[in-house]
Chain A
């Protein structure tokens, strides 16, 4: 609940298994982003319990939040890249925050940039590449810790159809390697093309949860 009296989510009982690809859909204001924020501890639930593996993050301490965020990769609609850092530095930053050695950074970052197809542009700044490429940088940054969970909040919201397809393919590829992907989207075409589990939210409640679902709204 948000003050003064706004209920963003209620009666949500959701279990996502390791290795799953789940799309969470719903119209604007239905609580999709709040659900993501609960997973990354940007928000705390008023009631209920959130568990990741065996870790109860419902009442996570402030000092534990960075550790949690290093285990969940998150990508956003607006990419949230650091504008004054190069593509390499943006990805490396996620390693630097947890004290990785320069040698490890120099080894891993180019590998991940190769996976997302940006190894040739690693010394460019975010504004010097396209929107689709910026989102791929964000994905590279999210993957750098080899997270068990990748959360994508409207990752294709600012992209054209070609880039949207590329990002979707990349997410599927990441899922194939064993990473659990939680995709928040209201892109009907994208969700339907994935042919994976779809959870539909309406007015803060789960109204549908289909194993191989479609965008039903």
Chain B
């Protein structure tokens, strides 16, 4: 049993090296298919990062009326923080709000004069709420529909942002759906390319397969080295894909960061953190594909 296995591995390795250019061509096509899948993974990551970056900049402000006790606002803040949808709540005191307002309008004489005329701080405290997901804002803000808050809340900024948030949610959802669709399409193309490449490789061996049968080889004995070669193609294809992907990402990352206006993303880190998910599944996929294709393709020429 062990010697048969060694024999199959020997045949497979001989076939691989003695048909060097054919093996190389097969591996190159498989690598191209895998690189295109990784390119798509990159694109998907960038889209998600870009959408998340925009989403992260969105917050909702609750403006309280003047004179609302800080302790009441503190209670509301604590309650909001207890909600799982809420990521962060920042309390802005009336003094801070005024300072920010003055800073923002320091060149606007009319506003300056108006403030001087009023004499006292016209602004109330503010709670700035940030959700984990922009889709959660309506649910979070439902809290303030309660009648008890009607007398203390001056204004909510959500209505101003609602359209933008909905648009971003829609873009995010579409980007995810399109990403899955394109990934599926690419995967299908990659599978077809891989299938045909291995089939062509076996086709060039069809006469040898016939000879092996005429010499008295059993079907499995003819088939096994080709299946093993398929695994070997998969191993080399994934190795070369990794060797191409990492330097390519390293090269492209600074340009991408510039393109996205210095957005905080780490593509190399993403590939490293998900190394086994990305390349592990690609390896399993390509090896299974090669094994199945080799088994089927050799079968065609075994009827001797």
Contacts and interface: CB of A to CB of B under 8 A. Distances in A.
Interface string B207-235: 11011111111100100000000000000
B132 interface: no
Contacts of A89: 14
B216 A82 contact: no
B304 interface: yes
A6 interface: no
A141 B14 contact: no
Interface residues of B, number: 20
B116 to A, nearest CB: 95
Given A97-B221, A99-B4, A70 B216 contact: yes
Given A83-B208, A84-B14, A84-B18, A94 B3 contact: no
B3 to A, nearest CB: 7
A66 B217 contact: yes
A201 to B, nearest CB: 22
A66 B7 contact: no
B216 A81 contact: no
Q: Which DSSP category, helix, strand, loop or mixed, fits chain B's interface?
A: helix
Nearest to B218: A66
Nearest to A68: B216
B146 to A, nearest CB: 80
Given A84-B18, A96-B7, A101-B3, A69 B215 contact: yes
Contacts of B15: 84
B208 A40 contact: no
B215 A97 contact: yes
B170 interface: no
A77 to B, nearest CB: 13
Nearest to B205: A84
A74 interface: yes
Interface residues of A, number: 26
A69 B208 contact: no
B221 A69 contact: no
A80 interface: yes
Interface in A68-95: 68-70, 74, 80-85, 89, 93-94
B19 interface: yes
Contacts of A18: none
Nearest to B210: A80
Nearest to B215: A94
A97 B213 CA distance: 9
A1 to B, nearest CB: 19
Interface in B1-26: 3-4, 7, 14-15, 18-19
A74 B214 contact: yes
- Highest count of chain B CB atoms <10 Å: which of A70, A85, A96, A99: A96
Contacts of B14: 84-85, 89
Contacts of A212: none
Contacts of A211: none
Nearest to A69: B216
A174 B214 CA distance: 21
10 contacts: A40-B214, A67-B216, A69-B213, A74-B214, A84-B18, A84-B19, A93-B217, A97-B212, A97-B217, A97-B221
Interface of A: 40, 42, 63, 66-70, 74, 80-85, 89, 93-94, 96-99, 101-102, 141, 145
Given A84-B208, A96-B7, 10 more contacts: A63-B218, A66-B216, A67-B216, A69-B215, A82-B211, A82-B212, A84-B15, A97-B212, A97-B216, A141-B215
